[in-house]
Amino acid sequence: MAANRAEAATTLGASATATGRYFGAAIAASKLSDTTYTRILSTEFTSVTPENEMKWDATEPSRGTFNYTSGDRIVSQAQSNGQQVRGHALAWHSQMPGWAQSLSGSTLRSAMLNHITNVATHYKGKIYAWDVVNEAFADDGQGSRRNSSLQQTGNDWIEAAFRAARAADPGAKLCYNDYNTDGVNAKSTAVYTMVKDFKARGVPIDCVGFQSHLGTGVPGDYQSNLQRFADLGVDVQITELDVAQGGNQASIYGTVTKACLAVSRCTGITVWGIRDSDSWRTGENPLLFDSSGNKKAAYTSVLNALNAGSGGGGGGGGNGGTGCTATVTPGTVWGDRYNTSVTVSGASTWTVVVTMTAPQKITSTWNGTATWDASGNVMTMKSNGSGAAFGFTTSFNGNTTARPQISSCTGS
């Protein structure tokens, strides 16, 4: 755990840097005048991805006429913060401008290649990694290519896109990026087969992005899926991470972070937005900061995982103790407060870290010895000989929806 380390960093970016990785966020140019947003952006993140500003509809609204105003704004903001930029996305069936949607065949193919050449040339030298092709595989369980107008230009459209991007900006890492490829399944295996073929034939590809738009679970083979791609000789990156709010949000974020840390070629993690109110998943509160910009339990879970990994030189690292499992059982709820009990299994002497969402506050505890971090939101509860369960009362203070999150359980 972080507490066992001499120097646990206190921001996502610094902690990730200590492991040799970046920690990024998707950002919107239209939000760069929001001071809460820019404060978190400049403090916590070492990489940015433009959420929409470098897509085809944004950068080439009419054929042959390029508009880089918003994309350039993001790049200059990133440069002034010392952040790297992931370019997103050169070729994608979605968010194509209307004029391109009406094209097909060789006309569309040459328009696509011209688009890639122009955009990658404009940003040459400023982009760490490009999502060259986005979401080209179907969700049919068969591993088929998605049936799009781009696909109909010929099955070699993906490699043609990668070759055009390499020619335009030889210094950028070139990634294939997709969703629902986060575990071993027909879709991820089809991408795997394509990457293997590209490597064998010398088609320029350097990285694979795993979007990781997750619900209430994470595939059990998440890490081994990343590893099998890395073993092909490409970097892997978590490119659009967000997780539905629910009982497991913090632990899923922690699991994903640890998986990246355990794969030496997993070079970084990007979350798809900063605050819950910035997310495309309206109402799901899937990000690391609440809508007011407060750190959530999920944030602490990621930070702790990064700090636990920082001694591993990018290759994992331990948590300084044996494992245990802490299970939350909701208790009585009153108008102004509620009870929670936590049962610990797997160790008789334990330390459980519980993270609360402000402005909620724990007002009393039982059957353990509690200490608090400076913010008052993170409680470290140690066993005191009273058994395998402890409990506490939390006052709502105006937030009746948030619930405590278990950030870690360490036995000794």
Footprint of ligand G3I on residues 304-363 (CB under 6 A)? none
Single-letter code of the amino acid located at 371: T
* Nearest to ligand G3I of 78, 354 (CB atom): 78
Q: Considering only residues 60, 169, 240, 278, which one is a binding residue for ligand G3I as defined by CB under 6 A?
A: 240
**Active site (annotated) includes residue 159:** no
* Nearest to ligand G3I of 169, 242 (CB atom): 242
* Nearest to ligand G3I of 51, 290 (CB atom): 51
> How distant, in Å, are the alpha carbons of 184, 225, 293, 302 from that of 232?
15, 11, 39, 27
Is-contact 53 66, C-beta < 8 A? no
Look at the block and give the residue holding tokens 């030298």: 125
Look at the block and give the residue holding tokens 């002497």: 349
Q: Provide the minimum distance between the beta carbon of 279 and ligand G3I in the complex, in angstroms, as a whole number.
A: 8
Does 60 participate in binding ligand G3I (rule CB under 6 A)?
no
**Active site (annotated) includes residue 284:** no
Does 52 participate in binding ligand G3I (rule CB under 6 A)?
yes
Classify the C-alpha dihedral 263-41-251-279 as positive or negative: negative
Closest CA relative to residue 241, chosen from 265, 224, 264, 266: 266
Q: How far apart are CA 349 and CA 327, in angstroms?
A: 15
Does 94 participate in binding ligand G3I (rule CB under 6 A)?
yes
Q: Which two structure tokens, joined as six digits, stand for 222?
A: 């998440």
* Nearest to ligand G3I of 1, 91 (CB atom): 91
Q: Considering only residues 13, 46, 51, 174, which one is a binding residue for ligand G3I as defined by CB under 6 A?
A: 51
The DSSP output letter for 197 is: H
b (16+ CB within 10 A) / e for 169-186: beebbbbbbbbbbbbbbb
> How distant, in Å, are the alpha carbons of 216, 338, 407 from that of 399?
22, 12, 20
Does 180 participate in binding ligand G3I (rule CB under 6 A)?
no
Number of residues that bind ligand G3I (CB under 6 A): 9
Residue nearest to ligand G3I (CB): 280
Q: Provide the minimum distance between the beta carbon of 172 and ligand G3I in the complex, in angstroms, as a whole number.
A: 18
Does 81 participate in binding ligand G3I (rule CB under 6 A)?
no
Does 95 participate in binding ligand G3I (rule CB under 6 A)?
yes
Does 396 participate in binding ligand G3I (rule CB under 6 A)?
no
Is-contact 61 67, C-beta < 8 A? yes
Closest CA relative to residue 319, chosen from 412, 250, 221, 217: 412
Q: How far apart are CA 89 and CA 133, in angstroms?
A: 7
Footprint of ligand G3I on residues 200-229 (CB under 6 A)? 211
* Nearest to ligand G3I of 157, 179 (CB atom): 179
Q: Provide the minimum distance between the beta carbon of 55 and ligand G3I in the complex, in angstroms, as a whole number.
A: 7
Residue of 44, 53, 159, 240 with catalytic role: 240
Footprint of ligand G3I on residues 263-282 (CB under 6 A)? 280
Q: How far apart are CA 84 and CA 177, in angstroms?
A: 18
**Which amino acids are annotated catalytic?**
135, 240
Residues forming the site for ligand G3I (CB under 6 A) = 51-52, 94-95, 134, 179, 211, 240, 280
